Amino acid sequence: MSKNIRLNDSKLVDILRDELQELTIAPLKEEHLQNVLYSLMVHIRHDTRVSNNIIKINSLSYWKQVEENFYYEGNLLKFTTQERKVLSLLFKRINKSVSYDTIAIELWGDIVNGNRERIKTLVKQLRKKVSTK
């Protein structure tokens, strides 16, 4: 289970630790387990980082999954089609590695020599656009 929990999910980890500790000390009661699971569902639904297809980056910026748009201070940032595809791919795989080959297939439909350098350049451009905001 710990493999799926992100390190920055300290609230969720604390809730799990407190609630599950009780369960391991006393015999398992179905009603108590239901309450714990309900509490976790409420917590997850109210998580401000991923809510209603909005991924909050920080207090000023967020990504809208459905629209595939990046906003800073409420303003839409402009990206090329390839930049948007890379951002979308990365946001769909939060906390997971994404290989050069996966990005190449997403952008060009195949893996070709030289794609790695093109992807590096594209990522540099993205970092520049996002980090200035």
**Structural domains of the chain in order of their starting residue, each with its CATH number:** 2-47 (no CATH), 54-131 (1.10.10.10)
Q: Which DSSP string corresponds to 34-48?
A: HHHHHHHHHHHHT-S
| Stretch 3-25: mean pLDDT | 56
Q: How confident is the model at residue 14 (pLDDT cuts 50, 70, 90)?
A: low
| Band of residue 2 on the pLDDT scale cut at 50, 70, 90 | very low
Q: Can you tell me the distance from the alpha carbon of 88 to that of 78, in angstroms, rounded to the nearest whole number?
A: 14
**pLDDT tier, 1 (very low <50, low <70, confident <90, very high otherwise):** very low
Query: For residue 46, what pLDDT is reported?
Result: 54
pLDDT in tens, 72-105: 988 999 999 999 999 999 988 888 899 999 999 9
9 against 127, higher pLDDT: 127
Q: Which residue has the higher pLDDT, 41 or 109?
A: 109
Tell me if 82 sits within 8 A of 122, measured CB to CB.
yes
Contact yes or no for 5/12 (Cβ under 8 A): yes
